[in-house]
Chains A and B, each alone.
Chain A
Amino acid sequence: MSTQPGQDAKFFQRGKIEEFRAELQAAETKDKKYQKRKTVLKKVVANITMGNDMSPLFTDVVQCLGTPLLEIKKMVYLFLMSYGRTKPEQIHLVIPSFLQDCNDRNPLIRALAIRTMSYIPIPVVTDALSDQLRHCIKDRDPYVRKTAAICVAKLYTADPRKAERGGFVELLRDLMLDANATVVANAVAALSEIGDRQDGVIFRLNLLIASKLIAALGESSEWGQIYILDSLLRYVPDKHADAEMMAERVIVQLQHANSAVVLTAIKVLLYLMNYMENRRLIDYICKKMGPPLVTLLSSGPEVQYVALRNILLIIQRRPAVLKNDVKVFFCKYNDPIYVKLAKLEIMYRLAREENAREVLAELEEYASEVDIDFVRKAVRSMGRLAIKVEPAADSCIQSLLGLIDTKVSYVVQEAVIVTKDVFRRYPGKYEGIIPKLCENLDALDEPEAKAAMVWILGQFADKIDNADELLDDLVYTFLDEPVEVQLALLTATVKLFIHKHQSDTTKALVHKVLKWATEEIDNPDLRDRGFMYWRMLAMNPTLAGEIVLAEKPAITTDSDRMDRGALDQLLLHTGTLGSIYHKNPETFIRNAAGRALIDSPALNANSRAVLVPLSRPQLPPVAVSVSGPGPTEPTRPSSPPGEAGTSKPSLAVPVASGSSEGRDLLDIDDVTAESGGGGDSGEGYGDIDDDGPTGNAADPYANLGGAFGGYSADEPKPMGNRTGHGGDLDDLLF
């Protein structure tokens, strides 16, 4: 059965329809062993591949079906799959040939015929197919049956109502109990596809069927195992014991070589744990999941990436899973950039007092690498580490200072941004490094860094001798700055004035800025804020001081973790695109099916309390002319929710002397107000099953990606539609 290397590259040449037609016609009279026809057909297929329209050759190519050569038949079928749909008036020419093949003695031919027919979704063909399919579903050969199962899914896609009227869904259901595991797996895949359609039938499993499916796992191909495992999420356990029994039987799949089998098995286990009671078993499963997840990191880089993005979700929900494994997430020098960025986030998540030193040493190493995004994120992580792990704060600050010394512009800017948050987290502890920051004022050219520095100058104007000079310099370009920086400058000069109101330069400075803000600026936020400061200062400067310089609540990393209900829901998509982007698929893929935990007597009370119900359909089923089906989640930076610890200080607590008016004004100090985040005990490493329901009901996805705050430069995300295109990208593409 040795295969000879092909020599067909020569066929990749643009050809003319007329030539091909002439060659085919010539071949009809004299064609030894059909070699000529074979050659022409190869040229035709090559041209289809290159994107040249070969459809005018329809009748000529179809003629070749008369030859007994299987190779030719397959090429003609390939042609039909490409153009059959566009030739409804000529397709009847091939139906007899299809029908003949459907009844061939050879099962491979029977399967080939129905498979090909089902790829041509026009009524003439589907009508003919329906009759054949009914027989093929009950064919004595399992290969034909497994092909027929997928054909039903195709038929359903082409015409759902016809497929239902034909009773095919019921036939498919019967196939689920077939003696052959491959047939079962394909039937399950087909039913799942139908069940995920918004107009499809509901596909759920009961205990009996679910158990039978699990029994078929051992005999299924690796792909079949994935389809079956995936379908187990359609089984809702009524009793803890059922869920536990099921989980025990799924655990063995974690040892499979195929990473998709492993991730899908993990998805099932995570799902079933919501319905389990036995603490010891839950702990055992968590322990069992860790090593296979780490092993995924020795797969190809693409699979590593999928694994890493999923691990990031899993450890938020089940912190026990990999809590001692931070080392395996250290970056290798030659990891692809997407792997490195994903690892960095996990390293931060797994960092705690015991390993903070190692993690910091790694981050320092990364900060000297070449990729700018990676370096920035490493620097940002150092600051986040300082905020998260108090005992490590000192060494983190030292590292940051070392980095500022490098004078590399983006490193310095990133360090400044994050240092600002460190000041908020540890008031009165690190202000000593301010002069160092001030030395690098000129290096700051990015709005976020500049705004952060300006905030520092204003906030600590009393401790910086030449704050007025520095601010005066910065204000020089006030009118050309982005709003972010303008707002920061406005507030900072007001603070400066309150600190040093006896100075004439300060007075002149604040006057100048207030005048600009109220007279030269069109941005209403800036103007309004300018007016308010102005009036406040004019009416009661002392009170203004109390309000503007009111003590701010310290930053914590509590809200780093995503809300539990949202996590539960997102984990139902483990391994899929949704898990890569950390978004529910229905929010960015049109017609995608959402998933939600389904309530049952066995559902864990905490899970129930935070259950995010599914509302469907989430997206308009048809194209909208406005902005398309892009992600509907809040876009940064207009409303970054729950990002405590980033550049935006939290909504302050009412000041003792403050009237209600005072509170409103406090708001103004900050670009955006935000809620204090959920009630999770951020640093706790217990299983969060123990936690009660958390707050943040308004937006369960609020804390998504919160750990890195507004830093979303590298955050994987589906690309929305660019403005200006005016319509749905999907529709524009084709």
Chain B
Amino acid sequence: AFFVFNQKGEVLISRLYRTDFKRSIADVFRIQVVSNSDVRSPIITLGSTSFFHVRVNNLYVVAVTKTNANAALVFEYCYRFISIAKSYFGKVDEESVKNNFTLIYELIDEINDFGYPQNSEIDTLKTYITTESIVSTAIAAEESSKITTQATGVTSWRRGDVKYKKNEAFVDVIETVNLSMSAKGTILRADVDGHIQMRAYLSGTPECKFGLNDKLVIDKNERGGISDAVELDDCRFHQCVRLNEFDSSRTISFIPPDGEFELMRYRSTSNVKLPLRIIPTVNEIGTSQVSYVVTVKASFSNKLSATSVVLRIPTPLNTTGVECKVASGKAKYVPAENVVVWKIPRIQGGQECTFTATADLTSTTVRQVWARPPIDVDFQVLMFTASGLIVRFLKVFEKSNYHSIKWVRYLTKASGTYQIRVSPRTDAHIMMSDPRLRSFEG
């Protein structure tokens, strides 16, 4: 069964694919998950019944089964439902679901049969599931055959009759940097989650070939020792990419869907270039104050700049106020979240910014434990890739032999993934030097 719930646990969409469920199963989910303040798993199994849920905005997208379902498939399906809904309605929230509920029923009847996900390519779906009123006899059988052939065909993601005056393709290489750095500046983990987003506005059935850096090592195990090569630990491709060809000759060739899609996703852990260096000094002065000095250093070419830089610097829970001094940007204490938010609209490459502050604390009778969350940094750097990945070429072949224009853009960003720990941990006592213990050895 498939449901969409709002935040209050009201059912917005309810589709029972199998007779082993009644609609009242929705109440069980409401009680177990929606009204439960401490849900600690996206999967809950009661007896033989399992509930899978994904949250999006103020909604719960829920799948229910009595079988030993493929959990990865169920979640991928939920994600896909969300992205289809987004593509159809622009956003996925209570309002848009309610406003389009009959269309959603049509969609989920089409993309899922008896619990088995079916063709879910947005481009194809849009050819026959629309909000326009269709008179059944009016769809020419011939037209429908085209649709069905496409929906079940080898390139189910693309219509054959796409036409553009101007043939263009936009490639966005977007990298998210994950960083976890210790208070002492040791990199605990630094890696890049990259994805290549493509917007293809190409006529006909274009055959595309895609090329990355010359010195690209896609499987670290294959070769070692090329120090300046860009190494990818792994990459995953859109359904349209011919995996066999990639496996044998490392070429990325495909017939793209029309419009926007994610061509490829990759991961890199070697030679990660960190665009921003953060050097924090956090000191507890007695029990009444905490002092901060945080420096941000932009370590990339001075022709580039980082934008929308936001640092979230945690403060103790019993903070009464924070006095901040910054040369660039603005810093503000947000009591509700126990952080100081320091926003810098732009940092030029090579530039350095510093933040100094003192937080005043109330005296508490019970010493509160401060979890000392890490400093979190969000930013964007255009035309920069932390992995060093570069798109060398994108070739488009089509039988009409038209000319096509290709654009490439690079973006490296972090949001909630770039973290610097601040805890200068008091080192644990050296055990045997503790006098209380020594007396004990004998």
Contacts and interface: CB of A to CB of B under 8 A. Distances in A.
Do the two chains belong together in a single complex? yes
Nearest to B3: A49
A157 interface: yes
Contact of A306 (B71, B121, B376): B71
B327 interface: no
A342 to B, nearest CB: 10
B436 A436 contact: yes
Pick the most buried of A68, A262, A629: most chain B CB atoms within 10 A of its CB.
A68
B329 interface: no
A263 B376 CA distance: 32
A108 B144 CA distance: 7
A129 to B, nearest CB: 14
Given A221-B119, A577-B50, A257 B437 contact: no
Interface residues of B, number: 138
Contact of A300 (B54, B148, B441): B54
Interface in B19-76: 19, 21-26, 28, 40-50, 52, 54, 66-73, 75-76
Contacts of A408: 369
5 contacts: A121-B19, A142-B152, A186-B116, A302-B43, A406-B369
Interface string A102-139: 00111111010001001101000000000000000000
Contacts of B228: none
B140 to A, nearest CB: 8
Interface stretch (B165-173, B282-290, B417-425): B417-425
A716 B43 contact: yes
Interface residues of A, number: 152
A206 to B, nearest CB: 24
Given A51-B26, A435-B436, A577 B71 contact: yes
A567 interface: no
Nearest to B190: A327
A663 interface: no
B280 to A, nearest CB: 15
B100 A107 contact: no
B117 A106 contact: no
A660 interface: no
Interface stretch (B231-239, B318-326, B394-402): B231-239
Interface string A167-207: 00000000000001111001001000000000000000000
A314 to B, nearest CB: 14
B336 interface: no
B154 interface: yes
B116 A150 contact: yes
Interface of B: 10-14, 16-19, 21-26, 28, 40-50, 52, 54, 66-73, 75-76, 78-79, 88-90, 95-96, 98-103, 105-106, 109, 113-114, 116-121, 126-128, 130-137, 139, 141, 144-145, 147-149, 151-154, 156, 178, 180, 182, 188-189, 191, 193, 219-221, 233-239, 242-244, 246-247, 262, 264-265, 267, 269, 369, 371-374, 376, 416-417, 419, 421, 423, 425-432, 434, 436-438, 440-441
B135 A432 contact: no
Given A258-B76, A729-B47, 16 more contacts: A49-B12, A49-B14, A69-B135, A69-B136, A108-B139, A153-B114, A180-B152, A181-B154, A221-B119, A221-B120, A255-B236, A295-B265, A298-B267, A373-B40, A398-B430, A590-B47
Contacts of A141: 145, 148-149
A119 B247 CA distance: 42
Contact of B239 (A45, A46, A258): A258
B137 A218 contact: no
Interface stretch (A222-230, A534-542, A651-659, A682-690): A222-230
B47 A629 contact: yes
Contacts of B141: 104-107
Nearest to A50: B11
Given A257-B262, A733-B49, A577 B69 contact: yes
Contacts of B431: 394, 397-398, 401, 432-433
A353 interface: no
Interface in A347-369: 358, 361-362, 364-365, 368-369
A43 to B, nearest CB: 11
A394 B434 CA distance: 14
A395 B336 CA distance: 38
B68 A719 contact: no
A230 B139 contact: no
Contacts of A157: 18-19
Interface string A373-409: 1000000000000000000001001110110011010
A208 interface: no
B234 A292 contact: yes
Given A577-B68, A714-B40, A295 B139 contact: no
A426 interface: no
A3 B40 CA distance: 38
A146 B43 contact: no
Contacts of B70: 226, 230, 260, 263-264, 575-576
A143 interface: yes
Interface stretch (A23-31, A330-338, A493-501, A693-701): A330-338
Nearest to B429: A401
A98 interface: no
Interface stretch (A516-524, A580-588, A610-618): A580-588
B428 A45 contact: no
A91 B103 CA distance: 25
B373 A262 contact: no
B66 to A, nearest CB: 7
B23 A435 contact: no
A554 B113 CA distance: 57
Given A287-B221, A408-B369, A8 B100 contact: yes
A303 interface: yes
Contacts of B118: 146, 186, 221, 223
A157 B131 CA distance: 34
Nearest to A719: B46
Contact of A305 (B42, B127, B128): B42
